[in-house]
Chains A and B, each alone.
Chain A
Amino acid sequence: GAVVSQHPSRVICKSGTSVKIECRSLDFQATTMFWYRQFPKQSLMLMATSNEGSKATYEQGVEKDKFLINHASLTLSTLTVTSAHPEDSSFYICSARVRDPNIGRETQYFGPGTRLLVL
Protein backbone atom coordinates (compact mmCIF):
# COMPACT_ATOMS: atom_id res chain seq x y z
CA GLY A 1 0.00 0.00 0.00
CA ALA A 2 0.85 3.67 -0.13
CA VAL A 3 3.44 5.00 2.31
CA VAL A 4 3.11 8.02 4.54
CA SER A 5 6.12 9.17 6.54
CA GLN A 6 6.40 11.47 9.52
CA HIS A 7 9.41 13.29 10.90
CA PRO A 8 10.52 13.31 13.60
CA SER A 9 9.29 10.06 15.11
CA ARG A 10 9.72 11.48 18.57
CA VAL A 11 10.65 14.83 20.01
CA ILE A 12 11.27 16.24 23.45
CA CYS A 13 11.11 19.98 23.90
CA LYS A 14 10.99 22.58 26.62
CA SER A 15 7.79 24.32 27.55
CA GLY A 16 7.26 27.46 25.49
CA THR A 17 9.13 26.32 22.42
CA SER A 18 7.62 25.44 19.05
CA VAL A 19 7.82 22.07 17.36
CA LYS A 20 7.29 21.29 13.69
CA ILE A 21 6.16 17.85 12.51
CA GLU A 22 6.36 16.90 8.83
CA CYS A 23 4.08 14.50 7.04
CA ARG A 24 4.92 13.26 3.56
CA SER A 25 3.18 10.98 1.12
CA LEU A 26 6.09 9.12 -0.44
CA ASP A 27 4.71 7.54 -3.57
CA PHE A 28 1.49 9.33 -4.27
CA GLN A 29 -0.10 12.74 -4.30
CA ALA A 30 -2.59 13.25 -1.52
CA THR A 31 -5.79 15.09 -2.21
CA THR A 32 -6.27 15.75 1.47
CA MET A 33 -4.22 15.31 4.62
CA PHE A 34 -5.53 14.93 8.15
CA TRP A 35 -3.92 15.45 11.53
CA TYR A 36 -4.99 13.35 14.49
CA ARG A 37 -3.93 13.42 18.13
CA GLN A 38 -3.97 10.46 20.49
CA PHE A 39 -3.54 10.58 24.24
CA PRO A 40 -2.48 7.45 26.17
CA LYS A 41 -5.12 4.72 26.27
CA GLN A 42 -7.46 6.81 24.12
CA SER A 43 -8.57 6.67 20.52
CA LEU A 44 -7.47 8.95 17.71
CA MET A 45 -9.11 12.36 17.66
CA LEU A 46 -9.17 14.41 14.48
CA MET A 47 -7.57 17.82 14.88
CA ALA A 48 -7.76 19.28 11.40
CA THR A 49 -8.19 18.62 7.71
CA SER A 50 -5.99 20.29 5.16
CA ASN A 51 -6.12 20.54 1.40
CA GLU A 52 -3.14 21.61 -0.64
CA GLY A 53 -3.00 25.35 -1.16
CA SER A 54 -5.88 26.23 1.12
CA LYS A 55 -6.43 26.89 4.79
CA ALA A 56 -6.90 23.98 7.12
CA THR A 57 -10.27 23.22 8.67
CA TYR A 58 -9.99 22.70 12.41
CA GLU A 59 -12.22 20.57 14.60
CA GLN A 60 -14.13 22.19 17.41
CA GLY A 61 -11.92 22.85 20.40
CA VAL A 62 -8.64 22.80 18.47
CA GLU A 63 -6.88 26.16 18.52
CA LYS A 64 -5.81 27.10 15.00
CA ASP A 65 -3.28 29.64 16.27
CA LYS A 66 -1.62 27.03 18.44
CA PHE A 67 -1.58 24.20 15.92
CA LEU A 68 -0.43 25.73 12.66
CA ILE A 69 -0.90 23.59 9.59
CA ASN A 70 0.79 24.27 6.29
CA HIS A 71 -0.02 22.17 3.25
CA ALA A 72 2.38 23.53 0.67
CA SER A 73 2.26 20.67 -1.82
CA LEU A 74 0.37 17.50 -2.67
CA THR A 75 3.01 15.44 -0.84
CA LEU A 76 3.83 17.52 2.24
CA SER A 77 1.91 18.86 5.20
CA THR A 78 3.40 20.27 8.38
CA LEU A 79 1.97 20.70 11.85
CA THR A 80 3.63 23.25 14.11
CA VAL A 81 2.80 23.17 17.78
CA THR A 82 3.48 26.72 18.91
CA SER A 83 4.43 27.60 22.47
CA ALA A 84 4.12 23.98 23.50
CA HIS A 85 3.11 23.10 27.04
CA PRO A 86 3.15 19.78 28.91
CA GLU A 87 -0.54 19.24 28.18
CA ASP A 88 0.33 19.19 24.46
CA SER A 89 2.36 16.03 25.03
CA SER A 90 0.70 13.43 22.86
CA PHE A 91 1.02 11.11 19.88
CA TYR A 92 0.41 13.06 16.67
CA ILE A 93 -0.57 11.07 13.59
CA CYS A 94 -1.02 12.35 10.08
CA SER A 95 -3.04 10.71 7.38
CA ALA A 96 -3.14 11.21 3.65
CA ARG A 97 -6.01 10.45 1.34
CA VAL A 98 -5.52 9.41 -2.24
CA ARG A 99 -7.85 8.50 -5.03
CA ASP A 100 -7.16 4.99 -6.28
CA PRO A 101 -7.49 5.12 -10.10
CA ASN A 102 -8.12 1.37 -10.25
CA ILE A 103 -11.26 1.48 -8.18
CA GLY A 104 -12.23 5.13 -8.45
CA ARG A 105 -12.43 5.45 -4.71
CA GLU A 106 -10.45 7.34 -2.11
CA THR A 107 -8.35 5.52 0.46
CA GLN A 108 -6.83 6.93 3.64
CA TYR A 109 -3.30 6.00 4.72
CA PHE A 110 -1.66 6.78 8.03
CA GLY A 111 1.80 7.83 9.05
CA PRO A 112 3.73 6.11 11.85
CA GLY A 113 3.08 8.94 14.30
CA THR A 114 5.20 11.45 16.20
CA ARG A 115 5.47 11.26 19.95
CA LEU A 116 5.81 14.71 21.49
CA LEU A 117 6.93 15.19 25.07
CA VAL A 118 6.93 18.72 26.43
CA LEU A 119 8.89 19.19 29.63
Chain B
Amino acid sequence: DAKTTQPNSMESNEEEPVHLPCNHSTISGTDYIHWYRQLPSQGPEYVIHGLTSNVNNRMASLAIAEDRKSSTLILHRATLRDAAVYYCILKPTGSARQLTFGSGTQLTVLP
Protein backbone atom coordinates (compact mmCIF):
# COMPACT_ATOMS: atom_id res chain seq x y z
CA ASP B 1 0.00 0.00 0.00
CA ALA B 2 1.20 3.53 -0.71
CA LYS B 3 2.52 5.32 2.36
CA THR B 4 1.36 8.60 3.86
CA THR B 5 3.36 11.04 5.95
CA GLN B 6 1.77 13.36 8.49
CA PRO B 7 3.17 15.62 11.19
CA ASN B 8 3.05 14.00 14.61
CA SER B 9 1.22 16.87 16.20
CA MET B 10 -0.34 20.25 15.52
CA GLU B 11 -1.92 22.96 17.62
CA SER B 12 -4.71 25.31 16.77
CA ASN B 13 -6.65 28.01 18.53
CA GLU B 14 -10.34 27.55 19.03
CA GLU B 15 -12.56 29.01 16.31
CA GLU B 16 -9.67 29.34 13.89
CA PRO B 17 -9.18 27.28 10.73
CA VAL B 18 -6.88 24.27 10.83
CA HIS B 19 -4.98 22.85 7.89
CA LEU B 20 -3.76 19.30 8.42
CA PRO B 21 -1.26 18.20 5.76
CA CYS B 22 -0.63 14.74 4.37
CA ASN B 23 2.08 13.72 1.91
CA HIS B 24 1.55 10.70 -0.30
CA SER B 25 4.15 10.97 -3.03
CA THR B 26 3.78 7.31 -4.09
CA ILE B 27 0.02 7.48 -4.55
CA SER B 28 -1.31 5.54 -7.51
CA GLY B 29 -4.00 6.66 -9.91
CA THR B 30 -6.63 4.44 -8.31
CA ASP B 31 -5.98 5.41 -4.69
CA TYR B 32 -8.68 7.29 -2.84
CA ILE B 33 -7.54 9.63 -0.07
CA HIS B 34 -9.47 8.96 3.13
CA TRP B 35 -9.39 10.94 6.35
CA TYR B 36 -10.54 9.51 9.65
CA ARG B 37 -10.23 10.94 13.13
CA GLN B 38 -10.12 9.28 16.52
CA LEU B 39 -11.30 11.11 19.59
CA PRO B 40 -9.85 9.99 22.92
CA SER B 41 -11.00 6.51 23.94
CA GLN B 42 -13.23 6.11 20.89
CA GLY B 43 -13.13 4.25 17.62
CA PRO B 44 -12.13 6.06 14.42
CA GLU B 45 -14.72 8.24 12.76
CA TYR B 46 -14.98 8.91 9.04
CA VAL B 47 -14.29 12.52 8.09
CA ILE B 48 -14.01 12.81 4.33
CA HIS B 49 -12.54 11.20 1.25
CA GLY B 50 -11.69 12.17 -2.31
CA LEU B 51 -9.93 11.09 -5.47
CA THR B 52 -8.90 14.12 -7.52
CA SER B 53 -11.23 17.04 -6.94
CA ASN B 54 -11.55 19.03 -3.74
CA VAL B 55 -14.39 17.84 -1.52
CA ASN B 56 -16.56 19.52 1.06
CA ASN B 57 -18.90 18.12 3.64
CA ARG B 58 -20.41 19.25 6.91
CA MET B 59 -17.34 18.24 8.88
CA ALA B 60 -14.45 19.44 6.76
CA SER B 61 -12.98 20.17 3.37
CA LEU B 62 -10.36 18.18 1.53
CA ALA B 63 -7.96 19.95 -0.76
CA ILE B 64 -6.04 17.65 -3.10
CA ALA B 65 -2.93 18.84 -4.90
CA GLU B 66 -3.03 18.78 -8.68
CA ASP B 67 -0.38 16.05 -8.81
CA ARG B 68 -2.18 14.21 -5.99
CA LYS B 69 1.06 13.79 -4.09
CA SER B 70 -0.30 15.68 -1.13
CA SER B 71 -3.58 16.70 0.40
CA THR B 72 -4.84 18.94 3.19
CA LEU B 73 -7.73 18.41 5.53
CA ILE B 74 -9.29 21.72 6.43
CA LEU B 75 -11.37 22.28 9.54
CA HIS B 76 -12.90 25.68 8.95
CA ARG B 77 -13.49 26.58 12.56
CA ALA B 78 -11.81 24.37 15.13
CA THR B 79 -13.67 23.61 18.33
CA LEU B 80 -12.43 21.87 21.46
CA ARG B 81 -14.35 18.79 20.33
CA ASP B 82 -12.15 18.57 17.24
CA ALA B 83 -9.15 17.60 19.37
CA ALA B 84 -8.29 14.15 18.07
CA VAL B 85 -5.79 12.10 16.12
CA TYR B 86 -6.37 12.61 12.40
CA TYR B 87 -5.40 9.82 10.04
CA CYS B 88 -4.78 10.20 6.31
CA ILE B 89 -5.19 6.83 4.58
CA LEU B 90 -4.88 5.72 0.97
CA LYS B 91 -7.14 2.99 -0.34
CA PRO B 92 -7.31 1.69 -3.91
CA THR B 93 -10.62 1.98 -5.71
CA GLY B 94 -12.64 -1.20 -5.35
CA SER B 95 -10.05 -2.74 -3.07
CA ALA B 96 -11.27 -5.36 -0.64
CA ARG B 97 -8.45 -4.57 1.73
CA GLN B 98 -9.03 -3.02 5.12
CA LEU B 99 -8.04 0.49 6.10
CA THR B 100 -4.44 0.61 7.28
CA PHE B 101 -3.65 3.27 9.84
CA GLY B 102 -0.40 5.20 10.14
CA SER B 103 0.57 7.26 13.15
CA GLY B 104 -1.66 10.22 12.31
CA THR B 105 -1.54 13.81 13.56
CA GLN B 106 -2.53 14.64 17.12
CA LEU B 107 -4.48 17.88 16.93
CA THR B 108 -4.63 19.98 20.07
CA VAL B 109 -7.17 22.81 20.14
CA LEU B 110 -6.37 25.59 22.54
CA PRO B 111 -9.19 27.60 24.14
Whole-angstrom distance between the alpha carbons of A49 and B99 in the complex?
11
Interface centre among B36, B41, B87 (most CB of A within 10 A): B41
B contact residues, total (Cβ < 8 Å): 19
Whole-angstrom distance between the alpha carbons of A110 and B42 in the complex?
9
B56 interface residue (CB < 8 Å to A): no
Q: Across the interface, which residues of A come within 8 angstroms of B41, CB to CB?
A: 91, 113, 115
Say how far A117's CB is from chain B's closest CB, in angstroms. Answer: 13
Range for the number of chain A residues in contact with chain B: 20 to 34
Total A-B residue contacts, Cβ distance less than 8 Å: 45
Q: Across the interface, which residues of A come within 8 angstroms of B111, CB to CB?
A: none
Q: Across the interface, which residues of A come within 8 angstroms of B98, CB to CB?
A: 32, 34, 46, 49, 95, 97, 108
Per-position 1/0 for A80-116, Cβ under 8 A of B: 0000000000010101010000000111111111010
B29 interface residue (CB < 8 Å to A): no
Whole-angstrom distance between the alpha carbons of A49 and B93 in the complex?
19
A1 interface residue (CB < 8 Å to B): yes
Question: Do residues B43 and A110 form an inter-chain contact, with CB atoms below 8 A?
Answer: yes
Question: Do residues A110 and B100 form an inter-chain contact, with CB atoms below 8 A?
Answer: no
Q: Footprint of B on A, CB under 8 Å?
A: 1, 4, 6, 32, 34, 36, 43-46, 49, 91, 93, 95, 97, 105-113, 115
Q: Footprint of A on B, CB under 8 Å?
A: 36, 38, 41-46, 87, 93-94, 96, 98-104
